[in-house]
Amino acid sequence: MTALTLSTAAAPGLRADAIVIGVGKGGKGPVVAPGADAVDKAYDGRLAGVLETLGASGAEGEITKLPAPAGFKAPLVLAVGLGTEPEEGEAYGAEALRRAAGVAARALTGAKKAAFALPLADAADAGAIAEGALLGAYSFDAYKGSAKDAKAGGKAPLAEVALLGGKPRDKEYKAAVERALAVTEELNRARDLINTPPNDLDPEAFAAVAQTAAKEHSIKVQVLDEKALEKGGYGGILGVGAGSAAGPRLVKLSYTHADATKHLAFVGKGITYDSGGISLKPAGHNETMKCDMSGAAAVFAAVVAAARLGLAVNVTGWLALAENMPSGSATRPGDVLRMYSGKTVEVLNTDAEGRLVLADALWAASAEKPDAIVDVATLTGAMVLALGSRTFGVMANDDAFRAAIVDAAEEVGEPSWPMPLPEHLRKGMDSPTADIANMGERMGGGLVAGLFLREFVGEGITWAHVDIAGPAFNEGGAFGYTPKGGTGSAVRTLVRLAELTAAGDLG
């Protein structure tokens, strides 16, 4: 993990591999951002002109490297684009700082230390830059040889970040950095889980990771194996896992605080590999299905982060873990499952399995009567078609709660969009054989899935469904602080919801 410090040192005298500065996109060319004053002064106030000569415009994510001026102990200045220059009297937003810091950290892969002289006016800015740098420096190299080999090849992540302009003795600055460290470390752990090949991360292995973390952070943990699931009547989870040699698990993580007055339940879909089951996915659609446990990874990370931050709210995480495989024992299209709630479900498509494991976990979570439930899942391709690969959809049985989640997501820099639950789509799931079918109308499939899940939420409980099928796994190139592969989508939104609830600002 990249180390991070707050520093009052002046940029010229700091020993580092690079000085990172920000550049905005002005109306007449690049504009040197606040924080880079010492560097600009060393260029006799002509740094913007030098950058423009080198082709820089200040566009978001743009990188320009130039030799450090005489008298600097760092050999390199790395200018990163912040995007459009803010209006007079305004400052660069937190997300612009996060993204710029992430781009810079990734560009400095192999470096031992970098000094970040980005705009830093208060503790919130320090937290945003810290988050971006720590998330941008992430890499997953567990299967690419030893860490020593990576270091020797100059491919190790940036080792240390110093935030210039920070106040190491200021309580607010220290708290902002400590929060950034806790959240990013857990988010990066979620990324590791998502990126781990399914032959090394089956439901039992995932449960073991959760147990280890729970013990480390004084979180109560309960793991239901096949026998316990059978005894409890968890027909959805058992039905999805029936075709795999690796048995399913339901993991319950309980973080409590003595001063808590509210209780949140987070429920995560954890399909450690999704072949589609008997309704087998075609080639081209199954190669990245190790990421189908991203919802459970997000819930796991959020609960641990809440514990590390000591938030005054009770948070319970439910990880519904199974592997969806075809075999002679697998659930077939046409089979009927009796769920934990007692309802029966006709399985018309075994590749609509996520809603089946979530249904059992939602009913289990409802039994504890939490103030609100949020489920997170890579649930439908329909949501990707609707919102693309960077935005998750939010559905809820309460419009105000849905709006609160969208607002929280925007605050932490996770693109989201409120989605409806049209009542007329419910009829499409009527079954002549069972209480409900796991499929309905094809058009609006993401909304149909939300309506199905709503059937398994306890009466009177506020609930939201977050479909992260698009942003959970980045198959394109890295951007901002988002790497290729597992992204940790929804972790920061869940943590922010817990913080707002602890502060009495939510519900």
User: Catalytic amino acids?
Assistant: 281, 355
Identify whether the C-beta of residue 217 lies closer than 8 Å to the C-beta of residue 308: yes
Angle at 343 between CA 341 and CA 345, to 5 degrees: 125
Identify whether the C-beta of residue 471 lies closer than 8 Å to the C-beta of residue 393: no
> From the CB of residue 122, how many other CB atoms can be counted at a distance below 10 Å?
13
3-state secondary structure of 367: coil
Q: Burial level of 355, CB count in 10 A (0-12/13-18/19+)?
A: buried
Q: Can you state the percent helix, strand and coil of the chain, rounding each to 5?
A: 35, 20, 40
Alpha-carbon gap, residue 108 to 106, rounded angstroms: 5
Angle at 57 between CA 51 and CA 58, to 5 degrees: 95
- Give start and end residues of each alpha helix (H) in 93-234: 94-107, 123-136, 147-152, 171-195, 203-216, 226-232
Sign of the alpha-carbon torsion through 151, 153, 154, 158 = negative
Side-chain half-sphere exposure of 44, counting CA atoms within 13 A: 2
Identify whether the C-beta of residue 345 lies closer than 8 Å to the C-beta of residue 438: yes
Sign of the alpha-carbon torsion through 196, 202, 205, 206 = positive
Question: In 3D, which of 143, 44, 62 has the Cα closest to residue 107?
Answer: 62
**CA dihedral of 47, 51, 53, 55, whole degrees rounded to 10:** -170
**DSSP annotation string for 30-56:** EEEPTT-HHHHHHTTT-HHHHHHHTT-
Alpha-carbon gap, residue 493 to 501, rounded angstroms: 12
Per the DSSP assignment, residues forming a β-bridge with 338 are 344
Amino acid identity for residue 304 in this structure = V
Residue with tokens 């220059």: 85
Which residues, in sequence order, are CB contacts of 432 under 8 Å at separation 6+?
Answer: none
3-state secondary structure of 59: coil
Identify whether the C-beta of residue 357 lies closer than 8 Å to the C-beta of residue 320: yes
Identify whether the C-beta of residue 111 lies closer than 8 Å to the C-beta of residue 136: no
